[in-house]
């Protein structure tokens, strides 16, 4: 009695099964890799919430008063406004007896300078921060320190002598230019204050601190 063996069909069947298995395994690997990339980069908004649901992670924040004060204080000297100005400043010396043509000394400076203002948040105290909670909604009230004018400087590279005239009978006063620069610095500082640099500094600082506090998980933020 003759026997027939169907080697060809069995070989084809095994090949298809092996190919399906490796395709399935490759799909699993690619899916896991895609999931890892998604979880790693989904850090904000709706995608972050989806990522947390997948991984089972819960985001928690340390929002006690000491912790919040420490986080705000880390901002230290928060510079929020840079006020730049170009102006012409005059410096002059004259004689009470002789006319300027003979004994006067006059200089005109084209001055470029800037003032920087902000808030020194290292001065924030625990009593300046109040946290309340109502039905699961957390509210924080923060009273910021007073805004300050940190510094006013003259940009020497962009400040130049526009005109200089000296009387016929007197030498050039070597100190007149430096004295005029000091006068210009005072004028720049006064101009910045008159234009409301401190109010602008406080407004910008409030916006920065408000954004920080919302990022810590507070539902309502009041900064003044």
Identify the domain boundary among 17, 37, 55. Answer: 55
110 and 129 in a single domain? The answer is yes
149 and 171 in a single domain? The answer is yes
Within a domain: 105 = yes
157 and 210 in a single domain? The answer is yes
Query: Can you name the residues that pair with 10 across neighbouring β-strands?
Result: none
47 and 142 in a single domain? The answer is no
91 and 190 in a single domain? The answer is yes
214 and 144 in a single domain? The answer is yes
130 and 205 in a single domain? The answer is yes
- Each of the 224 residues of the chain gets a pLDDT tens digit; together they read 444 444 444 444 455 555 676 666 667 777 666 666 665 655 555 555 555 555 555 444 456 888 888 888 888 899 999 999 898 999 988 888 888 788 888 999 999 999 999 999 999 999 999 999 888 889 999 999 999 999 999 998 899 998 998 888 888 888 998 899 999 999 999 999 999 999 999 999 999 999 999 998 899 999 99
Within a domain: 116 = yes
Domain span including residue 196: 65-223
User: Residue 105 phi/psi, 5° resolution?
Assistant: -145, 125
Q: 103-126 burial by CB neighbour count: b if 16+ within 10 A, else e? A: bbbbbbbebbbbbbbbbbbeebee
42 and 106 in a single domain? The answer is no
pTM for this structure?
0.65
26 and 78 in a single domain? The answer is no
Task: Determine how many CB atoms are found less than 10 A away from the CB of residue 213.
Answer: 21
151 and 201 in a single domain? The answer is yes
Within a domain: 1 = no
12 and 91 in a single domain? The answer is no
In this structure, what DSSP letter does residue 135 have?
T
Give dist(CA 224, CA 221) in Å, integer: 10
Q: How many domains does the chain have?
A: 2
145 and 40 in a single domain? The answer is no
Give dist(CA 158, CA 148) in Å, integer: 26
Within a domain: 60 = no
pLDDT score of 48: 54
Identify the domain boundary among 55, 75, 91. Answer: 55
Ordered alpha helix ranges (H), 81-122: 100-103
């Amino acid at each position: 009695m003759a026997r027939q063996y169907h080697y060809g069909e069995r070989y084809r069947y095994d090949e298809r099964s092996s190919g399906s298995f490796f395709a399935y395994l490759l799909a699993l690997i690619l899916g896991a890799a895609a999931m890892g990339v998604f979880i790693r980069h989904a850090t904000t908004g709706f995608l972050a919430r989806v990522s947390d649901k997948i991984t089972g992670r819960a985001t928690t924040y340390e929002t006690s008063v000491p912790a919040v004060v420490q986080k705000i204080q880390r901002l230290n000297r928060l510079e929020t406004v840079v006020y730049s100005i170009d102006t012409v400043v005059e410096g002059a010396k004259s004689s009470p007896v002789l006319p300027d043509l003979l004994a006067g000394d006059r200089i005109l400076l084209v001055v470029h300078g800037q003032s920087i203002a902000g808030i020194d948040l290292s001065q924030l105290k625990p009593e300046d921060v109040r946290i309340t909670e109502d039905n699961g909604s957390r509210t924080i009230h923060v009273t910021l320190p007073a805004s300050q004018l940190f510094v006013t400087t003259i940009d020497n590279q962009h400040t130049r002598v526009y005109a200089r005239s000296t009387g016929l009978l007197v030498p050039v006063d070597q100190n007149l230019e430096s004295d005029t620069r000091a006068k210009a610095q005072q004028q720049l500082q006064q101009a910045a204050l008159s234009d409301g640099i401190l109010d602008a500094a406080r407004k910008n600082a409030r916006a920065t601190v408000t954004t920080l506090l919302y990022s810590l998980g507070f539902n309502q933020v009041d900064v003044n």
